[in-house]
């Protein structure tokens, strides 16, 4: 029996997971997404084209591979249809390659409106959601009021009407104006399109593949520091983005988890509100943003940028059980004279190396170590033999601090700009 390898982000998302999944997919038979919704944009660039995936696994570009949207994912039929149609028009075999779990939950039109209403009610304490209805959909799931893909096959109209009425009562209580007539029409049309795909009991299918010796790569969305339990709460997403989320999001037993690939940027970014100890609200952050094109692939929002945070990274590696590290966007730091890395926090005068519970409530002063920059354009490098001495020193420093080998280094956005060590 084979095991499921897991690939996930170790920071606040946007680490470049889609590109790495695409690079690793040739070694696997199946790629499965296990959590999150269409707020997660995985950007891939190859053959002179740019693709943005929201819900469909990034293995879809490698012909002949099975891709599964697992039970832990929430799906907006409208956005799913838009994504799938774009892929089909660009020549990818979507219908035969993509399976969808019957236990995946649906994002309703009223979920989007509730998302906006909840953010407005928070006032200055906004989380900074993408407004895609993710939080309200997961709220319904946990409160046992959700609609699932499998409900399309069992008295769906009645279930939908009851769920919609419940949401409308909530919106009226909040005095929030809304009109869903147009979006609801598109939503039902998209549901019919979704029915063209293979709707499966994914937990049985995944475990059957394992028993059959198939190699499976599980693809996470967002990042560990956005996990609803272990992230910078309440400035987090609504699902479990950590490795354990693969078990609940695909129906995989813990003993069947194999390698855990943890992806991180050579620096750090986050979108929306919440704590960011190493954020650089200055020319350094602006340069990282411009060189890294740090704008959300789904929202277009400018990302906050800062130096790498090893306190948070060590924490993520511990929670996820990471066995191999992958560093992205190394080239963004090519022009810096000095690279800084946060090795500890100072909180109320005390130096700490553990990621704290009260991260969102206290002032954190990052304690930095400085490393010489490499001042070399690495975008055209094809092997680690070409790496500058200073860059190798940065890699060695990170491996020593984190205790896990860095096995892949990305030096640009293209599929070809990926170096295996």
Residue of 14, 309, 320, 331 marked active site: 14
Q: Determine whether 155 is an active site residue.
A: no
Backbone angles phi, psi at 69, to 5 degrees: -95, 115
Contact 398, 326 (CB under 8 A): no
Per the CB < 8 A criterion, the answer to whether 309 and 366 are in contact is yes
22, 42, 105, 334: which one is catalytic?
A: 42
CA 97-26-399 angle, 5° bins: 130
Contacts of 399 (CB under 8 A, 6+ apart): 325, 405, 406
CA atoms within 13 A on the CB side of 280: 21
Q: Please, which residues have CB within 8 angstroms of residue 312's CB and are 6 or more apart in sequence?
A: 11, 225, 268, 277, 355
Catalytic annotation present for 167: no
Q: Is the dihedral of CA 283, 285, 290, 292 positive or negative?
A: positive
Query: Which residue numbers are catalytic?
Result: 14, 42
């Amino acid at each position: 029996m084979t095991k499921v390898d897991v690939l996930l982000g170790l920071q606040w998302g946007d680490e470049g997971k889609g590109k790495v999944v695409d690079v690793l997919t040739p070694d696997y038979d199946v790629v499965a997404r296990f959590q999150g919704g269409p707020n997660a944009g995985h950007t891939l660039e190859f053959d002179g084209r740019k693709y943005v995936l929201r819900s469909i696994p990034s293995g879809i570009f490698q012909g002949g591979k099975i891709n599964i949207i697992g039970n832990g994912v929430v799906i907006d039929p409208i956005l799913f249809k838009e994504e799938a149609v774009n892929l089909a028009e660009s020549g990818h075999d979507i219908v035969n390659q993509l399976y969808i779990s019957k236990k995946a939950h649906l994002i309703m039109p009223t979920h989007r409106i509730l998302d906006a209403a909840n953010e407005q009610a928070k006032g200055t304490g906004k989380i900074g959601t993408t407004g895609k209805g993710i939080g309200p959909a997961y709220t319904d799931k946990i409160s046992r009021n959700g609609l699932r893909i499998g409900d399309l096959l069992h008295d769906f109209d009645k279930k939908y009407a009851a769920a919609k009425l419940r949401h409308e009562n909530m919106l009226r209580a909040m005095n929030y104006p809304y009109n869903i007539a147009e979006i609801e029409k598109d939503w039902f049309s998209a549901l019919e399109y979704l029915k063209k795909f293979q709707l499966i009991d994914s937990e049985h299918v995944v475990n059957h593949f394992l028993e059959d010796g198939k190699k499976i790569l599980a693809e996470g969305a967002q990042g560990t520091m956005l996990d609803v339990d272990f992230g910078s709460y309440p400035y987090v997403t609504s699902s479990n983005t950590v490795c354990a989320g693969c078990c609940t999001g695909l129906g995989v037993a813990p003993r069947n988890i194999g390698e855990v690939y943890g992806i991180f940027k050579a620096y750090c970014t986050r979108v929306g509100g919440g704590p960011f100890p190493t954020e650089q609200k200055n020319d350094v952050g602006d340069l990282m943003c411009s060189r890294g094109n740090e704008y959300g692939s789904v929202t277009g929002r400018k990302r906050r940028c800062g130096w790498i945070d090893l306190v948070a990274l060590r924490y993520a590696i511990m929670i996820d059980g990471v066995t191999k590290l992958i560093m992205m966007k190394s080239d963004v730091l090519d022009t810096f004279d000095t690279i800084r890395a946060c090795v500890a926090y100072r909180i109320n005068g005390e130096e700490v190396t553990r990621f704290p519970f009260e991260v969102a409530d206290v002032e954190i002063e990052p304690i930095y170590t400085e490393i010489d920059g490499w001042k070399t354009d690495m975008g055209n490098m094809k092997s680690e033999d070409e790496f500058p001495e200073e860059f190798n020193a940065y890699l060695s420093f990170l491996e020593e601090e984190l205790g896990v080998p860095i096995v892949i280094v990305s030096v640009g956005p293209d599929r070809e700009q990926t170096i295996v060590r």
